[in-house]
Amino acid sequence: MINELLTQINGILWGYILIAALIGCGLWFTWKTKGVQFRMVGEMFRLLTDSATTDASRMNDKGEKRKYISSFQAFAVSVATRVGTGNLAGVATAITLGGPGAIFWMWVIALLGSATAFIESTLAQLFKQPQKDSFIGGPAYYIQKGLHCRWMAILFAVFITINFGLSNNSIQSNTICSAMQEAFGWNPLLVGVVIAALALSIVFGGIHRIARISSVLVPLMAIGYFILSMVIVIMNIQLIPQVMKVIFASAFGLEQGISGAIGATIMSGVKRGLFSNEAGEGSAPNVAATATTSHPVKQGLIQALGVFTDTLLVCSCTAFIILISGLYNTPGLDGIQLSQAALTAEIGPFGKYFIALAILLFAFSSIIGNYYYGEANIRFMTSKKYVLTIYRILSGGVVLILGAMASLEMVWNVGDFSMGLQTACNVAAIIILGKYAFRLLDDYRSQKRQGIKEPVFHRSKMPEIEKDIEGWD
């Protein structure tokens, strides 16, 4: 009964309301920022490269070495949660349901969504709160500090904790265990216990340990997957013009025999694109707020690049492998099975083992990143340490072990419902507070035009909210 009700509610939320809202936000923010995601791509890469080579420590006023979270580390954690099993299974499902043209619409929604990602992460930086060795923040914080709406902030915090810290991690654990059983015949419960032990050893180290691990795992998995994809593309370079032709023809309904109705093609690509890159959902801002930087816009630009990494890079790799294989019309193949079959067709039996290992890296990095989203919001709701300890055990242990064995229909429905409500809260907040992000972007561009290589922000520049932006003394 409850499961059926959640299914109906999710169908309305994600079938109409939220998709329209997220697309509308992408268009609005693209226009208001004059296409920041296009005009400042070079600056995004410069900032990411500079932060990747910066040691995550600095001296305080007493000459003591003080740890902090670098912009690159914050970027790595957010990409870890974006780049997950959906990049392997979700892309395949989009192609199955909407045809090859769904990939084109995934690209479109990523280009629009990156503007939304810029706004929400810039706001998270603006309203972040100082801690001993880092900062903490996210939608719950900018809803309370910017909108002065405590109940809405609590609502967001509850739903994102349920969704990412509990529901989503059960799904990630189940996917890892299923892949390991399929590829190597390993017992799912045993795999679940090992994953839980590894996750607990990381999450009890807090955001600094999560950031260090993610900054290693994310480049490793993304670069490795990209290299393999490029090898397959080069081996089949003569097929690329035909692949691109099929994508564009299907996207605009020119090959209905392949793609089905154009409406299904567009909706499939849009939905999977939104679910994959998470722009507007209010997840990435939680880790974007932890970074130490000289201006909020810097982290906003870096996080916008995360959307490109997820959809234009990793999702496109999966799409090209599937389309080159020609198996996307094969009856009975869908989701991760289609991805495995496509890779096996290109590189032989090693394909299913590579996919299993890729899922292990993708999903495990998502687990530790998802965990932190819950921790940031637990800390927002209460300062009691035992509550955080209980959450760590639940999210890092019990949920992962149960997820290894669970039936996921109810878990998916609870997760989609929680994600829907957290997204609704976040979208309402960023539409109202977006004006501050626009001002920050104007300030950043103004300083750059004056020849200042590293723009600096101080809260005195926004006197009307000065008391609410404690992280910018």
- 193-222 per-residue burial string, b: 16 or more CB within 10 A, e: under 16: ebbbebbbebbeeebbebbbbbbebbeebb
Q: What is the C-alpha separation between 178 and 166, in angstroms, rounded?
A: 19
Residues with Cβ within 8 Å of residue 257, at least 6 apart in sequence: none
* Residue in the block written with tokens 């109705």: 261
pLDDT in tens, the chain (473 residues): 677 787 788 778 777 788 888 889 999 999 999 999 999 988 988 888 776 556 555 544 554 455 667 777 777 777 666 666 666 666 777 777 777 888 888 888 888 889 999 999 999 999 998 877 678 899 999 999 999 999 999 999 998 888 887 777 777 777 777 777 767 778 777 777 887 787 777 777 766 677 777 767 667 777 777 788 888 888 888 888 888 888 888 777 665 444 445 666 666 666 666 666 778 888 889 888 888 889 999 999 998 888 887 777 778 888 888 888 877 777 766 666 677 677 777 777 777 677 777 777 777 777 877 888 888 888 889 888 888 888 887 776 666 666 666 655 666 677 778 788 888 899 999 999 999 999 999 999 999 999 888 899 998 899 998 888 888 87
Residues paired with 130 in a beta bridge: 135
pLDDT at position 106, please?
83
pLDDT at position 59, please?
46
Q: What is the C-alpha separation between 165 and 169, in angstroms, rounded?
A: 6
Cβ atoms 264, 98 nearer than 8 A:
yes
Torsion angle of the four alpha carbons 86, 87, 93, 98, in this order, in degrees rounded to the nearest 10: 120
Nearest to 155 by CA among 423, 428, 427, 422: 422
Nearest to 31 by CA among 456, 444, 441: 441
pLDDT at position 411, please?
64
Q: What is the CB-side half-sphere exposure of residue 192 using CA atoms within 13 A?
A: 23
Residues with Cβ within 8 Å of residue 74, at least 6 apart in sequence: 211, 287, 288, 290, 291, 299, 302, 303
Three-class DSSP labels, 396-425: HHHHHHHHHHCCCHHHHHHHHHHHHHHHHH
Q: What is the C-alpha separation between 209 and 296, in angstroms, rounded?
A: 23
Cβ atoms 418, 163 nearer than 8 A:
yes
Residues with Cβ within 8 Å of residue 433, at least 6 apart in sequence: 123, 142, 146, 147
pLDDT at position 436, please?
95
pLDDT at position 177, please?
76
Provide the token pair at 369: 């990143």
Distances (CA, A) of 336 to 92, 136, 329, 374: 7, 36, 15, 27
Nearest to 155 by CA among 170, 168, 169, 140: 140
pLDDT at position 333, please?
64
Residues paired with 129 in a beta bridge: 136
DSSP string spanning 436-457? Answer: HHHHHHHHHHHHHHTT-SS---
Q: What is the C-alpha separation between 143 and 156, in angstroms, rounded?
A: 9
